[in-house]
Structure 1
Amino acid sequence: MASAAPVGEAGRPGGAPLVVDGRVRIDVTLTGASDGEAARRTVERLRAAVHAVPYAGAMVGGRTAQQIDTQDTATRDRNLIAPVVLAVILVILFALLRAVLLPLLLVATVALGYFATLGVTALVFQGLLGFSGTDASVPLYGFVFLVALGVDYNIFLMTRVRKEALRHGSREGIRRGLTATGGVITSAGVVLAATFAAPVVIPLAFLAQIAFIVAFGVLLDTLVIRSLLVPALARDIGPAAWWPTPPDKVPATARPPESTTSA
């Protein structure tokens, strides 16, 4: 609910209304909290009512209206940017791994890690710490960081797996590739998580939430998804994951030679 009154020429309600360029300012006072769901619904109904008046050209502003616009803009940006980023990543993975199913699998694991991180973040900040909400831009920033890091680890792992699979077969290649890159990926994830966790101590909700999302998401990606889930899925699917160019079907003459080292 809300009450409205025109603003007078002195800037106070009452008296002759202040008219500027044919427009009259009317202050609306909400009965509930300006950042609550009831206030949001009231502003949306008010906008729908005034915009339905022909030739009125009315505008509804204020703190609640600004929050609505910010959230709507962030949602629109997220819904546009996320699919574009994932599509570009898929094209790169298609070309790099020369496969169809495996890039789709890798992007799906990145998305899974992102949504799992958002869920844990909501539980921690709203359920345990009592935060009333989050900045509308936090999910998009978290998506950019986690997808960039997750895809980087994916490429590092699976390019080595493919190289080993060309010599030793799909399953043995997964084991050798994970052995060669697992320590580097895990240690890099721990260092990055510790680095990004530093802003948690800054008394700003936005920075604290971003820091937690990136730190937890990187640890989840490097310790669970990249080290366990991706190799397990690729091993269970087998050579079919590399279709249409499974390493087991590549002629021996096209395979890279064994690397040799001398003491």
Structure 2
Amino acid sequence: MSRLMKGAATAVFGMLLSVAGSASTQDTTPALVSIRMVDVVPGKAQQYEAVLAKFREAVKKVDPDQGFGVRVPAVGGSGSGYYIYQFLEKASDLRQRNVLMEAFGQEEAAAIGAMLDEAVENTRVETFIPREDLSRRTELGDFEVVYVIRVEVAIGGAPAFEDYMHKLVEATDKVDKDSNWFGYSPGIGAGTTYRFAVPMNWADLDNPGMTISQRLEKAFGEKEAANILASRDAVVTQVETGLTVGRPDLSLEPGGD
């Protein structure tokens, strides 16, 4: 089904985001994607999910057009962390309303806030810019998991890294047309980190398809492929990968139930 670029998780860079699934449902490309990464205190996952349920209820009441998605690690499950993401039309949308206060009043909102503080160990918020030129979108169909890749690039290395990605997109267009992924460049709070997401099924993990090197070599020849990979390796400083699954019971489609 959907494969990005296998071969790098075992090398310097193995690309394959937790927001890809909802991105595929957007009618237009959003200006920003905000991702809140939440580490929950051990044993407090149920309490945190109760808070998320109240937040979902509040958004439905006072701001139903602003949906959000929740994903959790495919390995380890909800108890090991949550990713909450929103698609925003403009940067000013980052200034969120206090929907709990508006929906439930000061006293109940304060009680929910206390539950949240007790359940959360750490929170980090980053924004990313959807990049059509760093993505390869095809018909997605149904998918079960999303393979997430965070790629940290050296300061000043963004042009070289994006040139590499353009070559990878070009090579994939030529020799591996079934592959698709979503690419995002860093926004507020993301430093020099790019995010990529590949929607896939569990069976795809056992049938990864062509590696990045194979794709580049088939499209451009061995020598040019080696140069392209070297340019990538020169600017990539760190890669993190993971599989996530959606939690539709905690998520809210814009205008949805």
TM-score with structure 1 setting the length: 0.24
Bigger relative CO (Cα 8 Å, ≥ 6 apart): 2
The structure with the largest helix share of the pair is 1
Bigger Cα Rg: 1
The structure with the largest strand share of the pair is 2
TM-score with structure 2 setting the length: 0.25
